[in-house]
Amino acid sequence: MPKITYIEFNGRKHIVDAAPGLSVMECAKQNGVPGIDADCGGGCSCGTCHVYVDPPWQARVGGRNAIEDATIEFASGVEANSRLSCQIKLTDDLDGLVVRLPESQR
């Protein structure tokens, strides 16, 4: 079962066990991690599930798909390592993943 670390903008960490097959967004919601609103429920149309993938994990997580790339424009503070967490599916390969939450989602 992959372990995921979410780090709020204020530095508070949430380390949770994730069931493979969930998205990073779904895992956050199931575990009460604050700062991921996910207004569209994972439909890749709201941009309120924005996270920064910790640089050492970027290659393994991969880049944004085309729809995600268009939707993330609704988010603020977008960086090269920004992803919409509803679009990152958790696998055992992502055990130890670290994502940070943007200031706008405090």
Per CB under 6 A, residues contacting ligand FES are 25, 38-40, 42-49, 71, 84, 86
Tally Cβ neighbours within 10 Å of residue 85.
25
Q: Which is nearer to ligand FES, 98 or 105 (CB)?
A: 105
Q: How far is the CB of 86 from ligand FES (least distance, A)?
A: 3
Q: In sequence order, what E strands does 11-86 have? A: 13-17, 50-53, 82-84
Collapsed DSSP state (helix, strand, coil) of residue 99:
strand
Q: How far is the CB of 73 from ligand FES (least distance, A)?
A: 11
Name the amino acid, one letter, at 95.
D
Q: How far is the CB of 56 from ligand FES (least distance, A)?
A: 23
